[in-house]
Chains A and B, each alone.
Chain A
């Protein structure tokens, strides 16, 4: 277990290092000089040069890369060119929107998907199974932003139950804030739930065919107890994999949904930073999301070992 832990951690760190190089080099080729963009086209050459020096843009490539990475390791993510605020402040502010949104969406999709998956697996081949699986096929095919638009039309424009967009902030009270996040969370959750339900169902069907399930039934365990106690636990590996992928997707995938609902979240921050050439914000936020992704996958890997004792010994 310790060996596995160290090995996985080492790979996670190596992956992070290579990913940071990718991000840095991609943003290097962005056309336009950051100092020039900040000062506008009327700036004198001296002013641009002075600002370049202040921002450290005149240093050689590798020095800038090292100081960026070194800063991040120490918790310094740089200062936004546009907002003149530390990136960490901006992120801390925006994460209060994106993180709850992603968590609500993940909880929603899991709460919908697992029971549906178990339920359809236990009634395989029935009319209901066919109908529900058909619905999930459609769910996978629906672009979440279109689903969001339809909800806006029905619940915001038509029924006027929910706001069409914007975020009042948590200071305005938990209820108004949750109201603002309701539609974005549902829009994010439903297509994910459709995928997760299908994965749960097929993983369950696969385990239900195993010999130990027959043994469990033969020793007198009820169908229900076999399903929830033995089959589900063994079917959890693919389900966990998908959930891990989905959380990372949800966190980054908010980029489009936040644009639909004008939510001041992380996705919108990156999106605006890209269009405004606020390179340090893009680099740092993308790296944070990549790091989140890697850490989640790392945790999922460890969860495999918790779920499946056989994986604790073998070097994966």
Chain B
């Protein structure tokens, strides 16, 4: 993919905010993040204290989304659970980018054997069905948030490696890189000073998509009992607990599911909006 050099001109902000996807996505993402941040200092109820007398209450003014089978306030659990979802997804993306981007850039700058080795290594990782391997890793090293992060993060590595390699390879053909080379800059320096800034936009778009996927995967792992462990609330496990109560307390299944959908939707819209704003040619084609 060739990277247009014009996107750093002041046009970016205007075109981003003109995009409906971007505005909606950004708003939703900020609201979810704010919710998670507020939960550190305030939640409507304490999520660790059980109140059996109040259990399985339907949504009301006192409990917006009702209470669960231990009498915990579901709205408060959603707020605290947001922290968990965001943290797992963000760290998994950081792992993926932190390892994948240097690997991809390095392979692109070297070419030949290192490049081939990296691509074939990627093929091996891609051969593993991600979810199955995440289950395997979480089970082998024990269930928990940290291992869920590692399991999701590992599968982000080849995604970012492939993307940055592709972007970097195209850039290495360009004249301004040749100029940098002639002026005596080392490959490593060119990568840091010229390649990375120019592929940053595609990486950011991919990061938002990977965040959305990470939140879905974390929820899936937590749902089968391999994610964040009790008593810390997590959206996936709330759905697991809701399943057993489905016939008499269906309200328990509503809020966590909507929380996941809204967050993932927000991130996907943000990613789409960013992509359109960063690559006007693509935007025209897609809309």
| Binary contact track A156-191/B, C-beta < 8 Å → 1, others 0 | 010000000000000000000000000000000000
* Residues from chain B with Cβ under 8 Å of A252 in the complex: 129, 131-132
A255 touching B135, Cβ below 8 Å:
yes
A145 touching B129, Cβ below 8 Å:
no
A26 touching B219, Cβ below 8 Å:
no
Q: How far is the CB of B285 from chain A (nearest CB, A)?
A: 6
B260 touching A143, Cβ below 8 Å:
yes
Given A27-B140, A143-B220, A157-B246, CB of A255 within 8 Å of CB of B131: yes
B261 touching A142, Cβ below 8 Å:
yes
B170 proximal to A (CB < 8 A): no
A225 proximal to B (CB < 8 A): no
Chain A, 234-263, CB within 8 A of any chain B CB: 248-249, 251-253, 255-256, 259-260
- Stretch in B72-80, B192-200, B262-270 with 4+ CB within 8 Å of A: B262-270
* Residues from chain B with Cβ under 8 Å of A146 in the complex: 239, 253, 256-257, 260-261
Chain B, 193-249, CB within 8 A of any chain A CB: 212, 216, 219-220, 223-224, 236, 239, 242-243, 246-247
- Stretch in B46-54, B57-65, B103-111, B119-127 with 4+ CB within 8 Å of A: B119-127
> In the docked arrangement, what's the CA distance between A270 and B43, Å?
39
A274 proximal to B (CB < 8 A): yes
Interface residues on B, range: 35 or more
A206 touching B285, Cβ below 8 Å:
yes
- Tell which of B120, B129, B246, B261 touches A14, judged by Cβ atoms closer than 8 Å: B120
B174 proximal to A (CB < 8 A): no
Q: Tally A-B pairs: CB < 8 A.
A: 127
- Tell which of B120, B136, B239 touches A15, judged by Cβ atoms closer than 8 Å: B120
B219 touching A143, Cβ below 8 Å:
yes
> In the docked arrangement, what's the CA distance between A164 and B49, Å?
33
* Residues from chain A with Cβ under 8 Å of B131 in the complex: 249, 252-253, 255-256
> In the docked arrangement, what's the CA distance between A282 and B128, Å?
13
- Tell which of A26, A259, A290 touches B224, judged by Cβ atoms closer than 8 Å: A259
| Binary contact track B18-52/A, C-beta < 8 Å → 1, others 0 | 00000000000000000000000000000000000
Given A202-B286, A255-B131, A270-B135, CB of A145 within 8 Å of CB of B265: no
* Residues from chain B with Cβ under 8 Å of A140 in the complex: 264-265, 268
> In the docked arrangement, what's the CA distance between A248 and B132, Å?
11
- Tell which of A14, A22, A274, A293 touches B135, judged by Cβ atoms closer than 8 Å: A274
B127 touching A290, Cβ below 8 Å:
yes
* Residues from chain A with Cβ under 8 Å of B99 in the complex: none
Chain A, 63-90, CB within 8 A of any chain B CB: none
Given A11-B123, A149-B246, CB of A26 within 8 Å of CB of B140: yes
Question: What would be 7 A-B contacts, judged by CB atoms less than 8 Å apart?
Answer: A142-B261, A143-B260, A145-B239, A146-B239, A149-B246, A270-B136, A275-B139
The 5 A-B pairs of least Cβ separation, nearest first, read A252-B129, A141-B264, A274-B139, A146-B257, A141-B265
Known A22-B128, A249-B129, A271-B135; 18 more pairs at CB < 8 Å? A14-B120, A15-B120, A15-B124, A19-B124, A19-B128, A26-B140, A124-B287, A137-B269, A141-B261, A143-B239, A153-B246, A252-B129, A252-B131, A259-B223, A260-B243, A274-B139, A289-B132, A294-B127
